[in-house]
Amino acid sequence: MRLNQDGCNDLCPKDKNLAINVVNYLKAGNRVIGDPGEGLKQTLAKLEEQKANRDFGILDWKTVDADLEEQISKTKAGIKGEEQLCEYLATLIKYDDKLDGLIAFASLAYDFGEENDKDYIPDTDTLLVYGNHILVVDAKNLKTKPGNPLILVDDMVMDAEKMRELITVHPSTHIWEKVMADAGIPLESIDGYVCIVNDQEVEIIRDEHWEECNTKLIHIAELRDVLEQWVEGKDNTASLRMLTEIAKAQIRKEKDLSFDIDTIKRKFGI
């Protein structure tokens, strides 16, 4: 894998350190950067805290909050889907020579502050970089049945026969177009996929909308072929500036603030 370091001398000290960390991580042979499912893991911790703090008196009959339990179940399924996707990506990148130079980032969230017109911070499950090209892959751990085809309608994955919504997706390709444009980093192309992650065969309707949509629906069994076709004919020289800009959006693991030995050492000069 080749790395273009143009423009890195102009980075601020914090970003320069991040760039060094990225380079060292890649030199160590890692190709999936980040903590898969970290955003959802933090959401799950808050949901479980909410469950634990439900207020019941000693004489109250404890009831189940069905909505909360459903949120917890879906969040756990989402975490599993993101982890399985990244595990498979790591295997593909390691053993498929056609994918040499492919780099994956897991669990990203870019907050534009007041510019964000949504009531949440859009996140990205997995972002793949090949040269100056980006591919956003959103993992969806869904139960599917053979013979029940799926279709992507607008931002909804639907049962094609019953036209019943199964899950809503939030494409983030436009987010990364803006991120790169604002940073002045050349981006040759950006595409997106919603990847169904399970061990069931599933038929996906590929109609005109599927062909024209910049976020296509696929099954994880197709991922190897999709990636090989995506990288074909492209230069895999990666931009360190681009990788650093992406790394800035990584969702970090939350520290246990109850006992942070490093903070104590710095405070008391140990």
Nearest to 244 by CA among 29, 16, 36: 16
Does residue 245 form part of some domain?
yes
Cβ-contact 19, 10 below 8 angstroms? no
Does residue 59 form part of some domain?
no
Does residue 170 form part of some domain?
yes
Distances (CA, A) of 40 to 43, 53, 162, 166, 232: 5, 20, 29, 19, 33
pLDDT < 50: residue spans in the chain: 116, 118-120, 256-261, 263-270
Q: Which residues pair with 127 in a beta bridge?
A: 105, 136
Does residue 22 form part of some domain?
yes
Does residue 31 form part of some domain?
yes
Q: How many domains does the chain have?
A: 1
Does residue 8 form part of some domain?
yes
Q: Containing H/E element for 159?
A: strand 156-159
Could you tell me the residue range of the domain that residue 19 belongs to?
3-54+64-253
Does residue 206 form part of some domain?
yes
Output the pLDDT for position 113. Answer: 60
Distances (CA, A) of 221 to 64, 65, 110, 211, 239: 37, 36, 29, 19, 30
Distances (CA, A) of 264 to 114, 255, 261: 35, 14, 5
Helices (H) and strands (E) in the chain, counts: 8, 11
Output the pLDDT for position 217. Answer: 92
Output the pLDDT for position 121. Answer: 54
Does residue 214 form part of some domain?
yes
> How many CB atoms within 10 Å of residue 98?
13
| Residues in Cβ contact with 77 at an 8 Å cutoff, skipping those fewer than 6 apart | 141
**For the segment 87-106, what is each residue's pLDDT rounded down to a tens digit?**
999 999 999 999 999 999 99
